[in-house]
Copies of this chain bind each other. A is one copy, B any other.
Amino acid sequence: MIYVENDPALRGIMTQLLEQRPDIEILLATGIAHEAIDRRLAEQADVALLDLALGSSQMNGIDLGLALRSLNDNIGIVIHSQYRLDTVARVVPPEALIGWVTLPKSGELPIGDLVQTLRDAARGMTLTEPLADSETLPLESLTIRQRAVMGMAASGIKSTEIARRLHISHDAVRQDLSRAYKILVPDADPDADDLRTRAVLTYLELTRDDDAGDGA
Contacts and interface: CB of A to CB of B under 8 A. Distances in A.
Contact of A107 (B15, B109, B155): B15
B8 A82 contact: yes
Contacts of A159: 194
Interface residues of A, number: 41
Interface string A126-152: 000000000000000000000000000
A10 B8 contact: no
Interface string A24-44: 000000010000000000000
B8 A7 contact: no
Interface string A72-83: 000000001010
A198 B82 contact: no
A20 interface: no
Contact of A11 (B14, B107, B194, B198): B107
A100 to B, nearest CB: 19
Contacts of A109: 9, 12
A116 interface: no
Residue among A109, A191, A197 facing the most chain B CB atoms (10 A cut-off): A197
Nearest to A152: B194
A157 interface: yes
A106 B8 contact: yes
Contacts of A154: 197
Interface of A: 6-16, 31, 56-57, 80, 82, 105-109, 153-161, 191-194, 196-198, 200-202, 205
